[in-house]
Amino acid sequence: MTADLFQHIGDLRPSPEAMVEGAVLLRGFVRPVEAELIAALRAIIQQAPFRHMETPGGHRMSVAMTNCGGFGWVTDRSGYRYDALDPCSGKPWPSMPPVFRELAAQAADCAGFAQFAPDACLINRYAPGARMSLHQDRDEIDFSNPIVSVSLGLPAIFLFGGLKRSDKPQRFRLAHGDVVVWGGPSRLFFHGVAPLADGEHGLLGRQRINLTFRKAR
């Protein structure tokens, strides 16, 4: 069903908006599979609820997290890493739903990265005031694969910088259904999210959900 939904949108797929070399913004890309995606998301959260992880320095993150797929990204006093088991339950993370996998592959393909097959999806929940400081995604083994980031719920300001933390980031307003894909020369660019403004989204309420698809191994 999911593949059919993507197959039939054809020319309705949004034209990629260039951000920098190797990074594009696909506005409204999620809309054809919105209902199926959110239903799958809620099932994942029931199996592996959101939690506020702790950084190696002992800081409690303002963003709540969970994962699905063969690997989950985790952080605690011992460091940042991917783990096949949910540290809260000791069980494998929920499997990645087909709608997640297909969405990520289609978005990557639209951005010029063919045959992307993610094995990890980090799911972040932002409440009003929550933020994500500038960072690089560098815990993966192979940087030739892109990052695919899906925005749901309240709008947010996405900060996209350069290869140095000191590089001034560009600011992009991301709305419900938008997807950002970056790889190639921008794969290790610093990025983050400004403090989330309060509001009410018709489907997801007072929160923003971000799905970040990666090839961890």
Q: What domains appear along the chain, each with residue ranges and CATH number?
A: 2-214 (2.60.120.590)
pLDDT > 90: percent of the chain:
93
User: According to the model, what pLDDT value does residue 14 have?
Assistant: 72
> For the whole model, what pTM was predicted?
0.94
Residues 93-113: pLDDT tens digits?
999 999 999 999 999 999 999
Residues 13-48: pLDDT tens digits?
678 999 999 999 999 999 999 999 999 999 999 999
User: According to the model, what pLDDT value does residue 131 have?
Assistant: 97
Q: How far is CA 94 from CA 66, 70, 157, in A?
A: 10, 8, 29
- The C-alpha atoms of residue 52 and residue 130 are separated, in whole angstroms, by 11
- The C-alpha atoms of residue 185 and residue 161 are separated, in whole angstroms, by 12
User: According to the model, what pLDDT value does residue 15 have?
Assistant: 84
